Amino acid sequence: MKKNFFYFCLFLFCFIQNSWSDDFIINNIVINKPWIKSIHSGQKVTSGYLEIINNSKSDDVLLSIESNFAKNNQIHSMNIQNDVMKMKHLKSGLIIKKKSKIVLKPGGFHLMFSEINEELKNKKYLYIKLNFKKNVSIEIPFQIKKNNTKGHVNHKH
């Protein structure tokens, strides 16, 4: 009986540990801390962020993203030139070099969702499918939360 209880507790610990994890793994790609910016009522655009670690021996490419809550789903780069924020749709995808990590964060690379077609107000997670060139696809939950960056710089768009 004690042996069964021990295995039950071990299983429960492993289950709880995995449910608290923000890591998702597909082949040699690790996805960390996926989150999406909450939106206000009537807003039709938001952005998503995450870390991608490529543990393989070759480069890979995040080719595209898919969601069921937005009509347009894109991968973007962003930079500021002469105090003007410039976003660019990465039509060929985002390269993740072998044995490296890339961080998609506010003010840099990010996922862009526009023409949002449903109310997201009472949801905690949104599922987004990430399509890679070599490591196929993975659909993962992105936690909805407020932008956690401090302050906002006014830029011309």
Q: Is the pLDDT of residue 154 over 50?
A: no
* Residues 144-148, mean pLDDT to the nearest whole number: 76
How far, in Å, CA of 95 to CA of 72, rounded? 21
CATH of the domain at 40: 2.60.40.1890
Confidence class for position 120, pLDDT limits 50, 70, 90: confident
Asked, for residue 2, whether it belongs to a domain, the answer is: no
Give me the number of domains the chain comprises.
1
Sorted by sequence, the CB contacts under 8 Å of residue 85 that are 6+ apart come out as 78, 79, 155, 156, 157
Asked, for residue 38, whether it belongs to a domain, the answer is: yes
pTM score, two decimals?
0.78
Q: Is the pLDDT of residue 156 over 50?
A: no
**Chain-centre distance of CA 15, in angstroms?**
23
User: Which letter does DSSP use for residue 7 in this model?
Assistant: H
Strands 94-96 and 70-81: unpaired
> Whole domain around residue 114: which residue ranges?
23-145
- Round the CA-based radius of gyration of the chain to a whole number and report it: 18
